[in-house]
Amino acid sequence: MGKSKTTKFKRPQFNAVGLPANAVNEVDAEEEDHGDDCCPAAELLEKLQSPSADVREFACASISRVVQQSQTIPVFLQRDAVRRLGPMLLDNSLAVRETSAGALRNLSACGGQEVCEDMVKHDVMTPLTALLRESCVAFESAAVATKDQKNAVEDVANEAVNLLWNLCESSSQSLSVFNKAGLLDLVVQCLERHPHNVELAISAAHCLHTVTEDNPELLCSLNAAVLGVLESVLLTSQPDMAHTLLRTLAAGTLWNMKGSLPAARQAQTLNAVVATLSQCLDLDLGTLIPELRQAEEVRHRNAPPAAHSEDQAAGELAVAEMDEEEEAPKRNRKGKDRDQEELKEATALLTAQQTSLEIIVNMCCSDDPSDDEWEEESSSDESDMGPDGLCDGVSNLMSPLCLSAEVHEALINHSIPEKVLKKTEFPRKEAMDVCQQIPSWRCLIKKIQRVQSRALTCLHSILSTMDAESLGGAAALQAAAQHLSTLVFGAAEIPKDEEFLEAVISAMRSLLQMIASKNIPRCMTPQQLMSLSEAATRCDVVSVRVNAVAILGITGSTLAKEKGTAETIQMIGNALLQVATKDANLVVNGEALDALFDVFADGDEAETASKNIQLLPALKALQPVFKAKIRKEGRGKYNPQQLCVLDNIKVNLRRFIGYLEKVVKK
């Protein structure tokens, strides 16, 4: 979310690669025969030793499908599946190489970090590295005589790169092997295939985007050739969505490499990166998705009847395959799956825009503290504390971060803030209708919603790092506030989706913070903000509750400077006391107390309200409970940075009580 690098998103669980229809039926029947507690692991693994390449291919493809049921993975691991599949990567048959890589890929994607670590421990990186080396040599080898053979080699490489990407994303040991074994050059060679095979190039670009993030050892070894390949990708001009995604991933990789770029090229490269992201965000989902669907319908009408029925079957299969994929497009084998080019294009578009927004968040963020720490530690600084001597250690976490002048200028020159704000709008009805009505397109709904959520998170980052003037001044900020108000309050009830709520409330907090600091008239009523905070405080996500009470603090401290607001301040004070007393999370308790310090720091209206709600006795009663809770739960549940913030709040609570006692005696 705002002040640090984007949280890494869980990889999707990919489906079996190239499994024939009869194999699906046979494996299903076998699973039914064995019952829920068993899977055909032993028999399939035994078939890997068959002298027949067709049987070995069938076994690998079947394993690829079966391991997507996570409960079967331990059975395969117990039977040494990784060690037995590893040699298949170097099988004499290209089809076996591809399906074995697909099986290991699915095993890594569905098994998670623990399985990836286990795979590396069983030395899967050795045959995988050899496979990639052989594939890259074969790209241009005279031995690969026909186009079909060349496509088969590239299909193998595509599966291998995806497996490598999974492993490097989940295993630090595999990343270390990547750095030392010269795998960077091999992945870059796959990226260079983009004029001939954009699917392979996209897989390579995803892998590069992952391995160049926070990897100083690798960045030290980067050379001009790698930089040249990435820049050549940025210069491609194909307008299709696959190339848009490819350029976006190349831009993200170049941003990760920024510290290793030659000084003379940094400004030029930064401008090219931001221009690429800007062009991606210019694309209108609401127009393009209906157009892509219409193109699919035209193709179906013009296709022979047999081909059309095959496409329909593929669409039905796509529902099952893509419904659970939320973070990335499915990367199918060229020429072996049914033609779904328009759906793939739509998926690539959504992935490109989500990735663009995440890269912009990274541009606006510092490296420390980590994202989760910031979310849980953040503390309002909406107004200066009235009482002398209050610690300021909890009041500087939302201050604007240092955004370099070059990045700031590039973002402004390419109108990034305006384009991000545009992406926060609810998706157009036409696009959502297409996705709702066509079963094979329903998998896009969550992806569309995620783009909106990422845009809101990106807006939060921009608001946290840029000044009001850069964002267009008071009028632009008021318009943005009105827009966010419409998103939250436009429907009959406040949205309950946690991802959306988390993103919109963080953006709203940053915007209200800026508006309050500039004394700009607000467009949301205190009652609206109270209703938002009430909804948010019932949310399970800690950061949502933290931001909710911070918004109440911003609102209350602003009202305290106005006349005739005591009654509303009372309402806010009571809400904050409830959270400070009853929320189960200490960080949320602390944020509520910090907001109370802001609201009741100064002013006649705040003084009247504090007496009416008996704030002093309430805080005196809360003080020993809060201290005891920190002592009892602190070290077991919270990290050192959070404990430091809580200790500061504990000190501030004692001093604030002293301040209120002086006010009472006046």
* pLDDT of 95 strictly over 70: yes
| pLDDT: which is higher, 326 or 211 | 211
Q: Among 27-31, 194-198, 204-208, whose mean pLDDT is lowest?
A: 27-31
End-to-end CA distance of the chain: 44
Q: What is the pLDDT of residue 528?
A: 86
Q: Among 296-305, 415-424, 548-557, 592-601, whose mean pLDDT is lowest?
A: 296-305
Q: What is the pLDDT of residue 144?
A: 52
Q: Among 340-354, 521-535, 627-641, whose mean pLDDT is lowest?
A: 521-535
Average confidence score pLDDT of the chain: 84
Q: What is the DSSP string of 312-380?
A: HHHHHHHHHHHTT--SS---PPTTTS---HHHHHHHHHHHHHHHHHHHHHHHT--SSS-HHHHHHH---
Q: What is the pLDDT of residue 311?
A: 55
Q: How far is CA 497 from the centre of its chain?
A: 16
Task: Establish how many alpha carbons lie within 13 A of residue 5's alpha carbon, considering only the half-sphere containing its beta carbon.
Answer: 11
Q: Which tens digits make up the pLDDT trace of 141-167?
A: 755 556 666 689 999 999 999 999 999
Query: Rounded mean pLDDT of 424-441?
Result: 92
Place of tokens 């940094």: 266
Structure tokens at 595: 């907001």
- Residue 581 burial by CB count (10 A; 0-12/13-18/19+): exposed, middle or buried? middle
Instruction: Identify how many contiguous H helices and E strands the chain contains and give both numbers.
Output: 32, 0
Q: What is the pLDDT of residue 338?
A: 52
In whole angstroms, what is the distance from residue 382 CA to residue 513 CA? Answer: 6
How far, in Å, are 2, 25, 418 from residue 462 at the CA level?
8, 52, 11
pLDDT band at 39 (very low <50, low <70, confident <90, very high): low
* pLDDT of 13 strictly over 80: no
In whole angstroms, what is the distance from residue 80 CA to residue 414 CA? Answer: 53
Rg, Å, the chain Cα set: 28
pLDDT band at 119 (very low <50, low <70, confident <90, very high): very high
Q: Among 134-148, 524-538, 579-593, whose mean pLDDT is lowest?
A: 134-148
In whole angstroms, what is the distance from residue 193 CA to residue 195 CA? Answer: 6
* pLDDT of 113 strictly over 50: yes
Structure tokens at 209: 């985007």
The helix/strand/coil state of 410 is helix
| pLDDT: which is higher, 522 or 191 | 191
Q: Which tens digits make up the pLDDT trace of 224-233?
A: 899 999 999 9
Q: What is the pLDDT of residue 1?
A: 31
Q: What is the pLDDT of residue 402?
A: 53
pLDDT band at 241 (very low <50, low <70, confident <90, very high): very high
Amino acid, res. 447? K
Query: Is residue 459 within 8 Å of 475, Cβ to Cβ?
Result: no
* pLDDT of 55 strictly over 90: yes
Q: What is the pLDDT of residue 404?
A: 84
* pLDDT of 339 strictly over 80: no
- Residue 419 burial by CB count (10 A; 0-12/13-18/19+): exposed, middle or buried? buried
Task: Establish how many alpha carbons lie within 13 A of residue 503's alpha carbon, considering only the half-sphere containing its beta carbon.
Answer: 25
Q: Which tens digits make up the pLDDT trace of 612-648?
A: 999 999 999 999 999 999 999 887 888 899 999 999 9
| pLDDT: which is higher, 372 or 277 | 277
Q: Among 18-27, 405-414, 564-573, whose mean pLDDT is lowest?
A: 18-27
Place of tokens 């390949």: 229
Q: What is the pLDDT of residue 437?
A: 93
pLDDT band at 332 (very low <50, low <70, confident <90, very high): very low
Going by C-beta distance under 8 Å and a sequence separation of 6 or more, which residues neighbour residue 466? Answer: 400, 403, 408, 411, 417
pTM score of the predicted model:
0.84
Query: Rounded mean pLDDT of 574-582?
Result: 95
* pLDDT of 201 strictly over 50: yes
| pLDDT: which is higher, 11 or 487 | 487
| pLDDT: which is higher, 317 or 561 | 561
Query: Rounded mean pLDDT of 109-138?
Result: 94
